[in-house]
A = this chain, B = another copy of it.
Amino acid sequence: MTKAVKPAAGEARHYIRIKEQILTEIAEGKLQPGDRVSSESELVAAFGVSRMTANRALRELMFEGVLKRSAGIGTFVSPKHLDVDLLQIRNIADEILERGHKHKAAIVAVGLMKADANVADALELTLGAQVMHSLIVHMENDQPIQVEERYVNPLVAPDYLSTDFHSMTPHEYLTKVAPITAFEHIVQAVKPDTAVRKYLGLKNDYPCLRVFRRTWSGEAVVTCALLYYPGAQYRLEARSTKGPPKPVAILGEKK
């Protein structure tokens, strides 16, 4: 018995190394949804850890929705759920990176403009006030997956326009400048207009989720954004006091 010792200082914890390896293999496609993952005892042999450590790695990945486990059978990769959101606003770049893919932003337009009635209303500014505007297409592995049109309140984030959106998403920048204290989402199914179709490379009648999102920081509206997701899912959950938020079953296009 090799009496496996604590990881040397600076090394990642054992259970984290196991989680990372499994996540890597999923990201690289070596493990596909539905595939069987190494059992606890196989991980014990492979990593030289105790079963409790392997158990913890797998159990946490189950909590996180990555794996499904059932006693007597084994551990399996969950069906991919690209959930756009879960009650907190997530950064699309992070989500893409978590899936092990490459994020790129194509900047279509950035500049100043005068608020029309809709924009002024949404940002709670007066008609004709100067607002900042950006139109960005987010790509996952060079495939467009989100059109983001954003209007920003210059009183809250005056330096917005000088951000390098290739290295930092608008959302990332704004949450750094002004932490979100409230948000509002309005979700609709729409037929995208020709411009959006072009950006996303969609056929004519492909339905899109359109999310209209406003965020506040204290009393002020920071920004409103129009987000178009082709065929995406938009997920949220909540619980009142206890209650178990369980993983996800999709209940597909039944029959």
Binding site for B on A (CB under 8 A): 20, 23, 26-27, 52, 60, 63-64, 81-84, 87, 118-119, 121-122, 124, 149, 180-191, 193, 204-210, 212, 216-219, 221, 224, 226, 229, 231-246, 248-254
The closest CB in chain B to the CB of A251 belongs to: B118
- Of all A-B residue pairs in the complex, the 7 with the closest CB atoms, nearest first, are A182-B243, A182-B239, A207-B207, A181-B243, A189-B189, A205-B205, A121-B249
| B contact residues around A204 at 8 Å (CB) | 205
Question: What's the number of copies of this chain in the assembled complex?
Answer: 2
Shortest CB–CB separation between residue A29 and chain B, in angstroms?
11
Distance between Cα atoms of A191 and B64 in the complex (Å): 30
Distance between Cα atoms of A226 and B118 in the complex (Å): 33
Q: Are B219 and A244 in contact (CB under 8 A)?
A: yes
11 additional contacts (CB under 8 A) given A182-B237, A184-B237, A216-B243: A26-B241, A27-B241, A60-B63, A118-B249, A121-B251, A182-B240, A186-B233, A207-B208, A217-B243, A221-B246, A236-B236
| B contact residues around A221 at 8 Å (CB) | 246
